[in-house]
Amino acid sequence: MMIQNKVFLLYLFIFAISDLYICSYIAVMPFNILLGVTGSVASIKVAQVVEELQKITFITSPDVKCEVRLVVTKHSKHFLPQPLSQIGASQIYQDEDEWQWKQRGDSVLHIELAKWADVFVIAPLDALTLSKLAHGHCDNLLTCIAMAWPFKENKPFVVCPSMNTKVQ
C-alpha cells in the first residue's frame, strides 16, 4: 500500500515537473526524496522543484514534510545558484563528498544515500548522464547512486530527461 501511494505521488510529480506546477498532494506517510541534478539548463528550476516537494502534506502527520536531499553533478553547478545552500534542500551532496571515508569498513556515501532514499528522482537528466546510465559508467556520485539503487526492493527510480530538441 505504501509503495503504491509513493508511485502515485511520483506520477503526479512527473506530470507536474513539466510545468513546475505542483499543488498540495497528500501522501500517507512522509518519505525521503533524493533529487539528482545534472548539467541541463533546466537545472535553473531546481530550487522551485525542491520548494514544491517540501509542500507535500501527509495524512498521518500534517506537520511533517518530505525530506529532500540533493545530489549535484559538476556540470549542473554551472546552472545552480551559488552558494548551493540557497536551493533549500536539507542536504546537498557533490562528487567530492563521495570520497570522505578513511579506511575499509567505513560507510560509502552512494550506498548510504541509496538506503536512505525512498525514491530517487533525476530531474533534469541530461544526455551525458543518460548515456552513462545506459552504459553503466559510474564516474560521479549521482551515477554511483543509480548503479547502487535497490531495484529489487521496488523503490521508485524516476528520470526526467531534459535536453535541447536538437539532441537526438
* H or E, element range at 144: helix 141-148
Read off φ and ψ for residue 124, nearest 5 degrees.
Answer: -85, 155
pLDDT of 167: 72
User: What percentage of the chain has pLDDT greater than the value 70?
Assistant: 80
The domains found in the chain, sorted by start residue, are 2-161 (3.40.50.1950)
Inter-CA distances, 144 with 20, 111, 133, 138, Å? 27, 8, 9, 5
Quote the pTM value.
0.81
pLDDT tens readout for residues 80-123:
888 888 888 889 999 999 888 788 888 899 999 999 999 999 99
- 167: which 3 cell numbers? 539532441
Average pLDDT over residues 6-13: 44
